[in-house]
Structure 1
Amino acid sequence: MASANSLQRLLCERHSGLEEALAVFDDLAPVEPAMLWGRWQGSEIRTGHPMEGWLEVCGWYGKQFLDFETVHPLLMRIGAGEPFPIRPLPGALELASRVSPQAFQLPGPLLRRSLLLLRTRRPQARLRRMEVRGVVSATMLYDHLPVHDAFRLVDEDTVLGLMQAKGDPRPYLFLLERRP
Protein backbone atom coordinates (compact mmCIF):
# COMPACT_ATOMS: atom_id res chain seq x y z
CA MET A 1 0.00 0.00 0.00
CA ALA A 2 1.39 3.40 -1.00
CA SER A 3 1.32 6.44 1.24
CA ALA A 4 0.16 9.98 0.54
CA ASN A 5 3.84 10.93 0.72
CA SER A 6 4.62 8.46 -2.09
CA LEU A 7 1.96 10.08 -4.27
CA GLN A 8 3.21 13.61 -3.54
CA ARG A 9 6.81 12.58 -4.23
CA LEU A 10 5.76 10.94 -7.50
CA LEU A 11 3.82 14.05 -8.59
CA CYS A 12 6.63 16.45 -7.68
CA GLU A 13 9.70 14.50 -8.75
CA ARG A 14 8.19 12.49 -11.65
CA HIS A 15 10.71 9.81 -10.69
CA SER A 16 10.28 6.62 -8.67
CA GLY A 17 11.21 3.01 -8.34
CA LEU A 18 8.86 0.84 -10.38
CA GLU A 19 7.41 -1.01 -7.38
CA GLU A 20 6.67 2.24 -5.53
CA ALA A 21 5.07 3.79 -8.64
CA LEU A 22 2.92 0.69 -9.15
CA ALA A 23 1.85 0.80 -5.48
CA VAL A 24 0.74 4.42 -5.97
CA PHE A 25 -1.11 3.47 -9.17
CA ASP A 26 -2.83 0.54 -7.45
CA ASP A 27 -4.03 2.75 -4.57
CA LEU A 28 -5.68 5.35 -6.81
CA ALA A 29 -9.38 5.29 -7.67
CA PRO A 30 -10.60 4.16 -11.09
CA VAL A 31 -11.46 6.68 -13.80
CA GLU A 32 -14.78 6.83 -15.65
CA PRO A 33 -14.12 7.23 -19.38
CA ALA A 34 -16.26 10.38 -19.77
CA MET A 35 -14.11 12.11 -17.17
CA LEU A 36 -11.26 12.05 -19.69
CA TRP A 37 -13.02 14.05 -22.43
CA GLY A 38 -10.73 16.87 -23.49
CA ARG A 39 -7.05 17.59 -24.03
CA TRP A 40 -4.39 16.41 -21.59
CA GLN A 41 -0.72 17.31 -21.31
CA GLY A 42 1.57 14.42 -20.46
CA SER A 43 4.83 13.87 -18.65
CA GLU A 44 6.61 10.63 -17.97
CA ILE A 45 7.25 9.06 -14.59
CA ARG A 46 10.82 7.83 -14.68
CA THR A 47 11.02 4.28 -13.32
CA GLY A 48 13.82 2.86 -15.48
CA HIS A 49 11.64 1.80 -18.44
CA PRO A 50 13.63 1.50 -21.71
CA MET A 51 11.24 3.95 -23.41
CA GLU A 52 12.04 6.79 -21.02
CA GLY A 53 13.09 9.97 -22.72
CA TRP A 54 11.77 9.00 -26.14
CA LEU A 55 8.49 10.86 -25.99
CA GLU A 56 10.24 13.99 -24.74
CA VAL A 57 12.81 13.87 -27.56
CA CYS A 58 9.99 13.47 -30.08
CA GLY A 59 8.02 16.45 -28.76
CA TRP A 60 5.17 14.57 -27.03
CA TYR A 61 2.50 16.92 -25.74
CA GLY A 62 -0.16 14.50 -24.48
CA LYS A 63 -3.49 12.92 -25.47
CA GLN A 64 -6.96 14.02 -26.53
CA PHE A 65 -10.19 12.16 -25.77
CA LEU A 66 -13.27 13.26 -27.69
CA ASP A 67 -15.56 10.27 -27.03
CA PHE A 68 -15.36 6.49 -26.67
CA GLU A 69 -14.39 5.97 -30.32
CA THR A 70 -12.43 9.16 -31.00
CA VAL A 71 -9.10 9.29 -29.20
CA HIS A 72 -5.83 10.86 -30.32
CA PRO A 73 -3.27 8.91 -28.25
CA LEU A 74 -0.23 10.89 -29.36
CA LEU A 75 -0.40 14.67 -29.55
CA MET A 76 2.96 16.12 -30.54
CA ARG A 77 4.22 19.68 -30.55
CA ILE A 78 7.06 21.46 -32.29
CA GLY A 79 8.40 24.22 -30.07
CA ALA A 80 5.56 26.34 -28.68
CA GLY A 81 3.27 25.46 -31.62
CA GLU A 82 -0.20 23.97 -31.41
CA PRO A 83 -0.25 20.25 -30.55
CA PHE A 84 -1.23 17.93 -33.41
CA PRO A 85 -2.17 14.22 -33.50
CA ILE A 86 0.04 11.65 -35.21
CA ARG A 87 -0.32 8.03 -36.29
CA PRO A 88 1.68 5.73 -34.01
CA LEU A 89 4.22 3.75 -35.99
CA PRO A 90 4.31 -0.04 -35.67
CA GLY A 91 7.77 -0.96 -34.48
CA ALA A 92 8.38 2.35 -32.69
CA LEU A 93 8.20 0.73 -29.25
CA GLU A 94 10.67 -1.95 -30.30
CA LEU A 95 13.05 0.68 -31.68
CA ALA A 96 12.72 2.72 -28.47
CA SER A 97 13.66 -0.33 -26.41
CA ARG A 98 16.85 -0.86 -28.46
CA VAL A 99 18.14 2.67 -29.05
CA SER A 100 18.75 5.29 -26.37
CA PRO A 101 16.92 8.60 -26.81
CA GLN A 102 20.27 10.33 -26.18
CA ALA A 103 21.27 9.14 -29.66
CA PHE A 104 18.66 11.59 -31.00
CA GLN A 105 19.42 14.63 -28.84
CA LEU A 106 21.23 16.51 -31.61
CA PRO A 107 18.87 15.60 -34.46
CA GLY A 108 15.87 16.02 -32.10
CA PRO A 109 14.46 19.10 -33.89
CA LEU A 110 14.73 17.26 -37.22
CA LEU A 111 13.05 14.21 -35.68
CA ARG A 112 10.19 16.38 -34.36
CA ARG A 113 9.70 18.04 -37.76
CA SER A 114 9.58 14.62 -39.43
CA LEU A 115 6.55 13.82 -37.24
CA LEU A 116 4.60 16.21 -39.45
CA LEU A 117 4.64 13.37 -42.00
CA LEU A 118 2.66 11.25 -39.51
CA ARG A 119 0.08 13.96 -38.83
CA THR A 120 -3.49 12.69 -39.00
CA ARG A 121 -7.05 13.82 -38.33
CA ARG A 122 -8.26 10.26 -37.83
CA PRO A 123 -8.47 8.92 -34.31
CA GLN A 124 -5.89 6.23 -33.56
CA ALA A 125 -7.39 4.75 -30.38
CA ARG A 126 -10.60 4.13 -28.47
CA LEU A 127 -11.59 4.15 -24.83
CA ARG A 128 -13.13 1.30 -22.83
CA ARG A 129 -13.62 0.19 -19.25
CA MET A 130 -11.21 -2.69 -18.60
CA GLU A 131 -9.73 -4.53 -15.69
CA VAL A 132 -6.05 -3.74 -15.30
CA ARG A 133 -4.13 -4.72 -12.15
CA GLY A 134 -7.39 -5.90 -10.55
CA VAL A 135 -9.40 -2.69 -11.03
CA VAL A 136 -11.90 -1.79 -13.77
CA SER A 137 -11.05 1.69 -15.02
CA ALA A 138 -10.90 3.76 -18.22
CA THR A 139 -8.40 2.15 -20.59
CA MET A 140 -7.28 3.43 -23.98
CA LEU A 141 -6.72 0.82 -26.69
CA TYR A 142 -4.51 1.70 -29.65
CA ASP A 143 -6.12 0.77 -32.97
CA HIS A 144 -2.97 -0.55 -34.65
CA LEU A 145 -0.61 -1.43 -31.80
CA PRO A 146 -0.77 -4.20 -29.18
CA VAL A 147 -0.74 -1.57 -26.43
CA HIS A 148 -3.20 -0.25 -23.85
CA ASP A 149 -3.05 2.68 -21.42
CA ALA A 150 -4.98 2.31 -18.15
CA PHE A 151 -5.82 5.37 -16.06
CA ARG A 152 -6.28 6.06 -12.33
CA LEU A 153 -7.60 9.22 -10.72
CA VAL A 154 -5.25 11.56 -8.87
CA ASP A 155 -7.76 14.45 -8.89
CA GLU A 156 -10.33 15.91 -11.30
CA ASP A 157 -7.59 17.39 -13.47
CA THR A 158 -4.83 14.79 -13.08
CA VAL A 159 -4.64 11.08 -13.90
CA LEU A 160 -1.83 8.56 -13.64
CA GLY A 161 -1.43 6.37 -16.71
CA LEU A 162 0.10 2.94 -17.10
CA MET A 163 1.04 1.86 -20.62
CA GLN A 164 1.43 -1.87 -21.17
CA ALA A 165 2.72 -3.28 -24.45
CA LYS A 166 2.08 -6.91 -25.31
CA GLY A 167 5.14 -9.00 -24.50
CA ASP A 168 6.77 -6.31 -22.34
CA PRO A 169 6.55 -7.21 -18.65
CA ARG A 170 7.49 -3.67 -17.52
CA PRO A 171 4.81 -1.00 -17.71
CA TYR A 172 5.60 2.60 -18.62
CA LEU A 173 4.02 5.17 -16.31
CA PHE A 174 3.04 8.74 -17.12
CA LEU A 175 1.00 11.60 -15.75
CA LEU A 176 -1.73 13.48 -17.64
CA GLU A 177 -2.92 16.95 -16.62
CA ARG A 178 -6.08 18.49 -18.09
CA ARG A 179 -5.58 21.49 -20.34
CA PRO A 180 -8.19 23.86 -21.87
Structure 2
Amino acid sequence: MSDDRPTVRERWQALRAAEGPLDPAELDALWADLDTVDASSLRGSWRGFAFPTGHPVERVLARSRWHGKRFTTQDDVQPLICRGEDGALYSDTTSGRGGASLWNVEFRGQVTATMVYDGMAVLDHFKRVDDSTLMGVMNGKAATSSASGHLFYFGLERE
Protein backbone atom coordinates (compact mmCIF):
# COMPACT_ATOMS: atom_id res chain seq x y z
CA MET A 1 0.00 0.00 0.00
CA SER A 2 1.49 3.36 -1.00
CA ASP A 3 1.31 6.56 1.00
CA ASP A 4 0.13 9.37 -1.28
CA ARG A 5 0.41 12.09 1.37
CA PRO A 6 2.86 14.87 0.45
CA THR A 7 6.25 14.80 2.17
CA VAL A 8 7.31 17.53 4.58
CA ARG A 9 9.55 18.96 1.85
CA GLU A 10 6.68 18.97 -0.67
CA ARG A 11 4.41 20.72 1.84
CA TRP A 12 7.16 23.27 2.53
CA GLN A 13 7.63 23.97 -1.18
CA ALA A 14 3.89 24.42 -1.74
CA LEU A 15 3.59 26.86 1.17
CA ARG A 16 6.79 28.67 0.09
CA ALA A 17 5.35 29.17 -3.41
CA ALA A 18 1.89 30.27 -2.24
CA GLU A 19 0.96 33.89 -2.71
CA GLY A 20 -1.40 33.83 0.25
CA PRO A 21 -3.10 34.45 2.36
CA LEU A 22 -2.06 31.22 4.06
CA ASP A 23 -3.98 29.63 6.89
CA PRO A 24 -1.76 29.70 10.00
CA ALA A 25 -3.14 26.26 10.89
CA GLU A 26 -1.33 24.83 7.83
CA LEU A 27 1.92 26.41 9.04
CA ASP A 28 1.31 25.09 12.57
CA ALA A 29 0.82 21.58 11.15
CA LEU A 30 4.00 21.74 9.09
CA TRP A 31 5.94 23.11 12.09
CA ALA A 32 4.80 20.13 14.18
CA ASP A 33 6.22 17.71 11.60
CA LEU A 34 9.66 19.32 11.24
CA ASP A 35 12.80 18.23 13.08
CA THR A 36 14.29 20.35 15.82
CA VAL A 37 17.68 21.99 15.26
CA ASP A 38 20.56 22.78 17.63
CA ALA A 39 21.51 26.44 18.12
CA SER A 40 25.19 25.70 17.49
CA SER A 41 24.46 24.61 13.91
CA LEU A 42 23.00 27.90 12.68
CA ARG A 43 26.17 29.95 12.19
CA GLY A 44 26.26 31.98 9.01
CA SER A 45 24.09 34.31 6.97
CA TRP A 46 20.50 33.45 6.14
CA ARG A 47 18.11 35.06 3.66
CA GLY A 48 14.59 35.40 5.05
CA PHE A 49 11.02 35.62 3.83
CA ALA A 50 7.62 35.93 5.48
CA PHE A 51 4.82 33.44 4.95
CA PRO A 52 1.85 35.55 3.78
CA THR A 53 -0.78 35.17 6.51
CA GLY A 54 -1.64 38.84 6.96
CA HIS A 55 0.31 39.11 10.22
CA PRO A 56 1.27 42.76 10.99
CA VAL A 57 4.99 41.85 11.22
CA GLU A 58 4.92 41.15 7.46
CA ARG A 59 4.29 44.86 6.76
CA VAL A 60 6.96 45.98 9.22
CA LEU A 61 9.58 43.74 7.62
CA ALA A 62 8.59 44.79 4.09
CA ARG A 63 8.98 48.48 5.02
CA SER A 64 12.41 47.81 6.52
CA ARG A 65 13.49 45.82 3.42
CA TRP A 66 14.28 42.82 5.61
CA HIS A 67 16.88 40.57 4.00
CA GLY A 68 17.51 37.97 6.71
CA LYS A 69 19.55 37.13 9.81
CA ARG A 70 23.24 36.63 10.60
CA PHE A 71 24.39 34.21 13.30
CA THR A 72 28.10 34.92 13.91
CA THR A 73 28.28 33.05 17.23
CA GLN A 74 25.61 32.03 19.71
CA ASP A 75 26.19 35.30 21.58
CA ASP A 76 26.55 37.51 18.47
CA VAL A 77 23.40 37.53 16.37
CA GLN A 78 22.13 40.21 14.01
CA PRO A 79 18.38 39.51 13.88
CA LEU A 80 17.42 42.11 11.29
CA ILE A 81 19.72 42.32 8.30
CA CYS A 82 18.08 44.83 5.94
CA ARG A 83 18.85 46.33 2.56
CA GLY A 84 19.47 50.08 2.48
CA GLU A 85 18.40 52.53 -0.22
CA ASP A 86 21.83 52.04 -1.82
CA GLY A 87 21.38 48.26 -1.92
CA ALA A 88 23.94 47.58 0.81
CA LEU A 89 23.10 45.23 3.67
CA TYR A 90 23.15 46.54 7.25
CA SER A 91 22.10 45.39 10.70
CA ASP A 92 18.97 47.31 11.77
CA THR A 93 19.62 47.53 15.50
CA THR A 94 17.04 50.31 15.91
CA SER A 95 14.02 48.26 14.80
CA GLY A 96 15.40 45.11 16.42
CA ARG A 97 16.26 47.03 19.61
CA GLY A 98 19.80 45.71 19.57
CA GLY A 99 21.15 42.30 18.75
CA ALA A 100 20.21 38.83 19.89
CA SER A 101 21.61 35.50 21.04
CA LEU A 102 20.92 31.84 20.26
CA TRP A 103 19.73 29.32 22.81
CA ASN A 104 18.14 25.89 22.82
CA VAL A 105 14.68 26.54 24.28
CA GLU A 106 11.55 24.46 24.76
CA PHE A 107 8.64 25.52 22.56
CA ARG A 108 5.48 23.46 22.09
CA GLY A 109 7.04 20.58 24.00
CA GLN A 110 10.28 20.36 22.01
CA VAL A 111 13.72 21.86 22.60
CA THR A 112 14.95 23.66 19.47
CA ALA A 113 17.21 26.53 18.44
CA THR A 114 15.76 29.86 19.49
CA MET A 115 16.91 33.41 18.86
CA VAL A 116 16.33 35.67 21.87
CA TYR A 117 16.17 39.40 21.13
CA ASP A 118 18.27 41.50 23.51
CA GLY A 119 15.90 44.48 23.64
CA MET A 120 12.40 43.03 23.52
CA ALA A 121 10.42 40.07 24.81
CA VAL A 122 10.45 38.21 21.48
CA LEU A 123 11.75 34.73 20.66
CA ASP A 124 12.25 33.29 17.17
CA HIS A 125 12.08 29.49 17.31
CA PHE A 126 13.58 27.44 14.45
CA LYS A 127 13.08 23.97 13.03
CA ARG A 128 14.91 22.26 10.17
CA VAL A 129 13.36 21.69 6.75
CA ASP A 130 16.74 20.53 5.38
CA ASP A 131 20.44 21.39 5.86
CA SER A 132 20.05 24.82 4.26
CA THR A 133 16.45 25.71 5.12
CA LEU A 134 14.78 26.64 8.40
CA MET A 135 11.23 27.44 9.38
CA GLY A 136 10.84 30.10 12.04
CA VAL A 137 7.99 31.17 14.27
CA MET A 138 8.11 34.43 16.21
CA ASN A 139 6.78 34.11 19.74
CA GLY A 140 6.14 36.61 22.52
CA LYS A 141 3.76 39.37 23.50
CA ALA A 142 4.84 41.64 20.65
CA ALA A 143 4.73 38.80 18.12
CA THR A 144 1.11 37.68 18.49
CA SER A 145 -1.32 39.38 16.12
CA SER A 146 -3.98 41.07 18.23
CA ALA A 147 -6.47 40.77 15.36
CA SER A 148 -6.17 37.02 14.77
CA GLY A 149 -4.20 35.70 17.73
CA HIS A 150 -1.76 33.82 15.46
CA LEU A 151 2.01 33.98 15.44
CA PHE A 152 4.30 35.22 12.67
CA TYR A 153 5.82 32.46 10.49
CA PHE A 154 8.87 32.88 8.28
CA GLY A 155 11.56 30.95 6.47
CA LEU A 156 15.34 31.20 6.31
CA GLU A 157 17.56 29.89 3.52
CA ARG A 158 21.30 29.62 4.05
CA GLU A 159 23.30 32.04 1.88
Q: TM-score range by the shorter chain?
A: 0.7 to 0.9
- Per-residue deviation, 1:7: 2.3
2:36 to 30, 40, 48: 30
- The 4+ residue runs of structure 1 with deviation greater than 4 A are none
Tell me which residue corresponds to 1:125: 100
1:12 to 11, 17, 22: 17
Equivalent residue of 1:10, what SS? helix
Equivalent residue of 2:58, what SS? coil
Structure with the largest fraction of helix: 1
Equivalents in 1 of 2:47, 2:86: separation in Å? 13
TM-score of the aligned structures, taking structure 1 as reference length: 0.74
Matches within 5 A, 1:7-156: 7-13=12-18, 15=20, 16-79=22-85, 81-89=87-95, 124-156=99-131
What is the total number of aligned residue pairs between the two structures? 147
Deviates more, 1:44-53 or 1:16-25: 44-53
Answer whether contact 1:18 1:48 (CA < 8 A) is retained.
no
For structure 1, list consecutive stretches of 5 or more residues without a partner in the other structure.
91-117
Equivalent residue of 1:73, what SS? strand
For structure 2, list consecutive stretches of 5 or more residues without a partner in the other structure.
none
Deviates more, 1:142-151 or 1:123-132: 123-132
1:157 to 117, 127, 132: 132
Cα 1:25/1:3, change in 2 over 3 Å: farther
Answer whether contact 1:164 1:170 (CA < 8 A) is retained.
no
- Per-residue deviation, 1:81: 2.5
Cα 1:139/1:88, change in 2 over 3 Å: farther
| Residue 166 (1) aligns with residue 141 (2) | yes
Name the aligned partner's letter for residue 143 of structure 1: D
- Per-residue deviation, 1:6: 2.8
Answer whether contact 1:62 1:74 (CA < 8 A) is retained.
yes
Equivalent residue of 2:27, what SS? helix
- Per-residue deviation, 1:50: 2.3
Equivalents in 1 of 2:81, 2:131: separation in Å? 21
CA RMSD of aligned residues (A): 2.1
